[in-house]
Structure 1
Amino acid sequence: MKREFAVIGLGRFGGSICRELSMEGMEVLAIDNNEDRINEFKNIASHAVIADSTDEASLKELGIKNIDHVIVAIGDDIQASILTTVILTDLGIKKITVKAQNDYHEKILNKIGANQVVHPERDMGKRIAHNIISNNILDYLELSDDHSIVEVKVGNKMLGRTLADLDIRANYGCNVVAVKQGKDINVSPSADHSFSEGDVLIVIGADKDISRFEKHLVIED
């Protein structure tokens, strides 16, 4: 059974989510108050509608109460973002994800009922910064304010050595949750796993511990 989503605000962030969900075969209701944007997505989303999301009657008329998950991706209009979130909360939407402009905006969204608050620009900035530091750092995902998960290539200091040799958990406080070798993924690798060129590690831990691990074993001098 297809899940149903609504994306409110079809700027770069909301538009990207709308496209990806649609490509995955999800039912997507696209909402924006800009006619040009709606015209752009009318052949992408299941339904694309011009509407004011701060008008409760309009959202009710669109059947928003029947949607599983609503993503509020409104751009610079913080007031509209907050009012829309309040309405969605009052209507009893099960899952509400909202794009925040800043930390103050996030605090308000959390207080008024948003289930998930995202900072796409901030988070992308962190990912790019980690990638710039070293070509061996492939991806970076923030799990909370002080914990993350990273995807890194094996550094030269790790080649030919085993997990037991490096004892990453004891020495750096991080956990290697998987090792990718080409298309194969070894989840919870054994202590005698020996690293070879091309291996990619999935590592989870506190940011300060991941930073130590990267500096000592991943980033090349």
Structure 2
Amino acid sequence: MSKEFAVIGLGRFGGSICRELSNEGMDVLAIDKNEDRVNEFKNIASHAVIADSTDEETLKELGIKNIEHVIVAIGDNIQASILTTVILTDLHIKKITVKANNDYHEKILNRIGANQVVHPERDMGKRIAHSIISNNILDYLELSDEYSIVEVKAGKKMAGKSLIDLDIRANYGCNVVAIKQGSDINVSPSAEDLLDEQDVLIVIGGDRDLARFEKHLVIEER
């Protein structure tokens, strides 16, 4: 059974979310003030309408109160983003996810009732920065302000050694939660198994601990 979503703001970020949700078979109400953007999504979203999300009556008429998850992806107007979030909070929307343009915007959104605040540009910047530090850092995902999860290739420094030999938890305060070996993913890796250079480790930990782990075991001299 598909869930119902509304995406307000059909720019690059909101448009991408709308496409992916629709591709996954979800019912999506797409909303934007720009007629050209709305027309672009008429054959993608379940419903695409031209509307001003800062008008509470308009949102009510669109049946927004019946939507369980609303994504506010307004990118160029912080005031409209904040006002829209306030209206959605007052309407008791079950889950509100909002795109923040900066840290100050994020603080306000958290205070006025957003359930989840995302920073796509900042988060993508962090992921790219980690990936260009070393070819062995394959992906990086921020879980909170202090904790993240990284996907790293074992590389030469870890090849031929076991998790017992490396003792990553004791030495760096991080946990290896899974190991990818080719197309297989082992979510309960044996501490005795030797790592291959091409194996991929999924590691979770505090940002400072992960930085030490990357510096000593992942980043290789070029």
* Structure 2 residue identity aligned to 1:219: I
1:74 alignment partner AA: I
Q: What residue in structure 2 maps to residue 158 of structure 1?
A: 158
Do the aligned residues in 2 keep the contact of 1:146 with 1:206 (CA within 8 Å)?
Answer: yes
Structure 2 equivalent of residue 86 of structure 1: 86
Q: Distance in 1 between matches of 2:193 and 2:204?
A: 18
Distance in 2 between the 1:130 and 1:12 partners?
Answer: 23
Q: Distance in 2 between matches of 1:59 and 1:182?
A: 49
Is the contact between residue 3 and residue 27 of structure 2 (CA under 8 Å) also seen in structure 1? yes
Aligned to 1:22: 22
Query: C-alpha offsets along residues 12-66 of structure 1, whole Å, 9 cap, x if unaligned?
Result: 0000000111111111100000000000011111110000000011101111111
How far off its partner does 1:198 sit?
1.6
**Runs of 4+ deviating beyond 4 Å:** none
- Paired residues, number: 221
Match of 1:178, SS? strand
What secondary structure, in the 3-state scheme, does the structure 1 residue paired with 2:81 have? helix
Distance in 2 (alpha carbons) for counterparts of 1:175 and 1:188: 12
Whether the 8 Å contact between 2:173 and 2:209 is mirrored in structure 1 is yes
Displacement of 1:123 in angstroms is: 0.3
**Alignment root-mean-square deviation, CA:** 0.7
Output the amino acid matched with 1:125: G
For structure 2, which runs of at least 5 residues remain unmatched after alignment? Answer: none
Contact 1:176 1:188 in 2 (8 A): no
Aligned to 1:145: 145
| CA distance in structure 2 between the partners assigned to 1:197 and 1:134 by the alignment | 14
Report the equivalent of 2:191: 191
Name the amino acid aligned to 1:76.
Answer: D
Q: For residues 161-210 of structure 1, what are the alpha-carbon distances to aligned partners after superposition, in whole Å with 9 as ceiling and x for unaligned?
A: 00000000000110000001122110131211210132111000001110
Q: Distance in 2 between matches of 1:69 and 1:188?
A: 34
Match of 2:114 in 1: 114
Structure 2 Cα separation of the partners of residues 68 and 189 of structure 1: 38
